[in-house]
Amino acid sequence: MIDLQIHRQPAQLGLDLKKASYDLNIRKAEVSVQQKEAEIDLQRTYPDVQVDTSAVRQSLGYGGPEFRAFAFADEAESSYLANLERTVQTGYAFADTSNQATIPEIVIRSMEPPEKQLAVVPLPSIQMIGQPGTLELRAQLGGTDTQLEDWGGVRIEDFSLPLMKVYWEQEPYLKIKAVGQMFDVKK
């Protein structure tokens, strides 16, 4: 009798896995932010009040050098005209024969001071000129000034693909062996 002996060995596969590898090169963005300060500028003008009393002072006989010069010139002119008028009146008095006055009477009358006439007149008013003060505000708002010099970025370096390698750890085989004899020798 012949027996068959079967030897078998199942296959075993091995996997050699290699993961993907890479280096990330991260470059940061270069941003500079500068803060601008707010600027506030206040400009103030002070109130200005001017009191002009020159008209009142001049009417009372007080004034500056220019007024005094004009006042002296006016006074000299009026004095000259008054003396001229008196001389003319004296001449007319001498010429008037109908007048029975003597020469000394005419001379004495001409030397009498003229009567002064007084009149009440209002004084010129004091002038006041005023300008109010002002306050001017100029403001420049602050803020930020941003400058982006480099966007930065991400770069992948030294990249290797993942790898899967299959190999036989144990090869399969099937071995069939006939054992025994075709003839039975024991009998």
d(CA 124, CA 63): 14
The phi and psi torsions of 58 (rounded to 5 degrees) equal -70, -35
3-state secondary structure of 100: coil
8 Å CB contact between 93 and 109: yes
Cβ-Cβ contacts under 8 Å for 104 (sequence gap 6 or more): none
Residue 25, both tokens: 């090169």
d(CA 68, CA 158): 106
- H or E element that contains 79: helix 65-95
Check residue 184 and give its pLDDT: 65
Q: Mind listing the pLDDT tens digit of every residue in the chain (187 residues)?
A: 678 888 888 888 888 888 888 888 888 888 888 888 888 888 888 899 998 888 887 777 777 788 788 888 888 998 899 888 888 888 888 777 677 777 778 778 777 877 777 777 777 788 888 889 898 888 888 888 888 888 888 888 888 888 889 888 888 888 888 887 777 666 6
8 Å CB contact between 142 and 33: no
- H or E element that contains 164: strand 163-170
d(CA 73, CA 155): 102
First to last CA, the chain: 12
Residue 118, both tokens: 């007084």
| Beta strand residue intervals within 11-68, DSSP E | 12-18, 21-27, 30-36, 39-45, 48-52
Check residue 77 and give its pLDDT: 93
d(CA 47, CA 135): 10
pLDDT tens digits for range 168-177: 888 888 888 8
The phi and psi torsions of 32 (rounded to 5 degrees) equal -115, 130
